[in-house]
A and B are shown apart, each in its own frame.
Chain A
Amino acid sequence: MRTNDLILQTITKIVIFIILAFSLHLFFAGHYTPGGGFIGGLMTAAALVLLLLAFDAKTVKKIFPVDFKKVTAVGLLIAVFTGIGSFIFGVPFLTHTYDYFDIPILGETGLATAVLFDIGVYLVVIGVTMTIIQTIGEDE
């Protein structure tokens, strides 16, 4: 029996952008308010899981043609290299720094290297979650 998922799929197409936007908001809010790489990554993965529920694994792979194991590895690399970056400046591993910059639209904004580390965390969380779900999902 073929079921008709029209309502689910249409709502998914709209809601997924809201979820992704919210996850990015959570990610960037992490320094001053609750949020950060972990919850942001989980939320992004949740958006992808919603896609998986509304469509099938093949469609999702077509929309996001990435190997999530590699995403995990890239995240780890970013996190480690933000730590190693401190070697160049002759300070201990993982020493972070920040400064204020004038960015055209946002105005004066504080940019911290801790965000780079958090991007690593964000990618690792997405990669691991999606690898787990896809591996179990594709297992016959």
Chain B
Amino acid sequence: MNNLVILPVLVPLVAGIILIFFNKQITVQKWISVIASILTIVVSAILVQTVFNNGIQIIQVGSWKAPYGIVLVADMLASLLVLTASIVSLTCILYAFKTIGEAREKFYFYSVVQFLMVGVLGAFLTGDIFNLFVFFEVMLMSSYVLIVLGGTKVQLRESIKYILVNIISSALFVAAVGLLYSVVGTLNMADLSQRVSEVDQPGILTVIAVMFLVVFGLKGAIFPLFFWLPGSYQAPPTPITALFGALLTKVGVYSILRVFTLIFYHDAEFTHGLISILAGLTVLVGVIGAIAYWDVKKIIIYNIMTAVGVILFGVATLSTTAIAGSIYYVVHDMIVKAALFFLVGAMAHISGTFDLKKMGGLIKNHPVLGWMFFIAVVTLAGIPPLSGFVGKLLIVQGGLENGHYVMAAVVLLSSLLVLYSVMKIFMNGFWGETKLSLQEEKGTTKGLLLPIALLLTLSIALGIGAEWFIPYFHQAAETLMNPSIYIDAVLKE
């Protein structure tokens, strides 16, 4: 009995519903969105601290006992991701104030953003595999609306692809859940874990595990299943892309992390070997894409894939150090990807184009923006005092300890290429000859810098204060490595 766990889902849900009534009063909408987001952050922060002090928190929805009813489980991993996601959503809303435009705001934009958060936070917190599917659908339905909202030609084209791919993957998800249920006879994750370990994961369960990998891989854009990502994320306006890039793929990654540490970890040589290979290829394709393009948004979009690959590599090694690194890297990446999308959005806002070759010398008129971009770049690449470093260090360390030398080398090499790809934006966009004088600029950065500054401060704090944050991440990794902690918390109450 602990209603705190459900509050991060309830606050955006109620806010989203109330926002439907105010679709014409934009000022009211803005106030409600900001207040609701701050409230979500506060309850998530309380949740993190409660979990840190008192262990895993669960709520048995409707008072039904664990394997029979739905449980929401807040372990350290889930609550950290909930906190990060709610912070990112606040900055996205703040960024949208200046950029999204009245036409979209009047058509339930803020409402749909809140519903998207319901899906994302619910997916992080749920302890039931079918409930995970439902929250996935809540998230995806909202993302369909956000991707098509505005109705420009490119949005219509890309939303058809996006919806098609996601409907197929959702159908596959239902099929996988159905198969799993017919073999094991339960849907609760803790109970699933217990029963799978009783039968020691025979062949059929490994097949189902791979089906889940395909499903979550489609959501999280891993190597052969990423084809929909570059186009779909290119189409909508910047704050929406930032929301997608920071949160949606990470929900897929989180699900892989959860399912392959809690339920299917008995045939690690096959399943985790497969994840390791796919992670390596994802990293490679990501950096190739990031280097190849001259479109600033595309470069950042391909960097999402690189990050997904790096995180999955941490999962594949199944060592406490690497998993702690993975979790650190997820949190870091959610923050810094959102910041980077905002930054390239601001660049495009000023110069009126996403084409890097048409920009130049922005630093002369926008020094603050320029140096913020520089900080974001070195954070992304993982330069020591900043947050990208700690995660990658732990992942590589965990990889080397377990003899995954090739993969560790791939991760390190990818950092170099990631640095090159974003430094290319910095050098071509900010340095060089000034192509636009102040009068010729298409827009101002007024109001755009605040959300970026918020995220970068957080990212710097996460890097410099790593000593202070590490216990949280170690607790998260401990729980993931010992499924018995999770099972005991859920079933023995």
Interface residues of A (CB under 8 A from B): 69-70, 72-73, 76-77, 80, 83-84, 87, 90-96
Q: Pick the contact of A94: B1, B2, B20, B62 (CB < 8 A).
A: B62
Closest CB in chain B relative to A90 CB, distance in Å:
8
Interface residues of B (CB under 8 A from A): 1-3, 6, 10, 13-14, 17-18, 20-21, 59-63
Given the known interface contacts A80-B10, A80-B14, A87-B3, the answer about A93 and B20 at a Cβ–Cβ threshold of 8 Å is no
Closest CB in chain A relative to B127 CB, distance in Å:
13
Q: Within 8 Å CB of A93, what residues of B?
A: 3, 6, 10, 59, 61-62
Q: Within 8 Å CB of B59, what residues of A?
A: 92-93
- What are 18 residue pairs bridging A and B, where the CB atoms are less than 8 Å apart in the complex? A70-B20, A70-B21, A73-B18, A73-B20, A76-B17, A77-B18, A80-B13, A80-B14, A84-B10, A84-B14, A90-B1, A91-B63, A92-B61, A92-B63, A93-B6, A93-B10, A93-B62, A94-B62
How many angstroms between the C-alpha atoms of A82 and B62 in the bound complex?
11
Q: Within 8 Å CB of A70, what residues of B?
A: 20-21
Given the known interface contacts A80-B10, A84-B10, the answer about A92 and B62 at a Cβ–Cβ threshold of 8 Å is yes
Count of CB-CB pairs between chains A and B under 8 Å: 42
How many angstroms between the C-alpha atoms of A73 and B108 in the bound complex?
12
Q: Within 8 Å CB of A94, what residues of B?
A: 61-62
Closest CB in chain B relative to A128 CB, distance in Å:
12
Residue of A nearest to B70 (CB): A94
Q: Within 8 Å CB of B6, what residues of A?
A: 93
How many angstroms between the C-alpha atoms of A90 and B13 in the bound complex?
21
Q: Within 8 Å CB of A80, what residues of B?
A: 10, 13-14, 17
**Cβ-defined contact, B21 with A92, below 8 A:** no
Given the known interface contacts A80-B10, A84-B10, A87-B3, the answer about A92 and B60 at a Cβ–Cβ threshold of 8 Å is yes
How many angstroms between the C-alpha atoms of A77 and B6 in the bound complex?
16
Q: Within 8 Å CB of A91, what residues of B?
A: 1, 63
Closest CB in chain B relative to A120 CB, distance in Å:
11
Closest CB in chain A relative to B112 CB, distance in Å:
13
Q: Within 8 Å CB of A84, what residues of B?
A: 10, 14
**Cβ-defined contact, A92 with B10, below 8 A:** no
How many angstroms between the C-alpha atoms of A72 and B63 in the bound complex?
27
How many angstroms between the C-alpha atoms of A96 and B63 in the bound complex?
9
Closest CB in chain A relative to B73 CB, distance in Å:
13
Closest CB in chain B relative to A116 CB, distance in Å:
14
Residue of B nearest to A77 (CB): B17
Residue of B nearest to A93 (CB): B6
**Cβ-defined contact, B63 with A95, below 8 A:** yes
Given the known interface contacts A80-B10, A80-B14, the answer about A72 and B61 at a Cβ–Cβ threshold of 8 Å is no
Q: Within 8 Å CB of A92, what residues of B?
A: 1-3, 59-63
How many angstroms between the C-alpha atoms of A93 and B45 in the bound complex?
20
Closest CB in chain B relative to A130 CB, distance in Å:
15
**Cβ-defined contact, B20 with A96, below 8 A:** no
List the 7 closest A-B pairs by CB distance, nearest first. A73-B20, A95-B63, A94-B62, A76-B17, A93-B6, A94-B61, A92-B59
Q: Within 8 Å CB of B1, what residues of A?
A: 90-92
Q: Within 8 Å CB of B10, what residues of A?
A: 80, 83-84, 93
Q: Within 8 Å CB of B3, what residues of A?
A: 87, 92-93
Q: Within 8 Å CB of A83, what residues of B?
A: 10
Q: Within 8 Å CB of B2, what residues of A?
A: 92
Closest CB in chain A relative to B489 CB, distance in Å:
15
Q: Within 8 Å CB of A90, what residues of B?
A: 1
Question: Which of A76, A83, A91, A93 has the most chain B CB within a 10 Å cutoff?
Answer: A93
How many angstroms between the C-alpha atoms of A77 and B60 in the bound complex?
22
Residue of A nearest to B1 (CB): A92
How many angstroms between the C-alpha atoms of A76 and B21 in the bound complex?
12
Residue of B nearest to A95 (CB): B63
Closest CB in chain B relative to A5 CB, distance in Å:
35
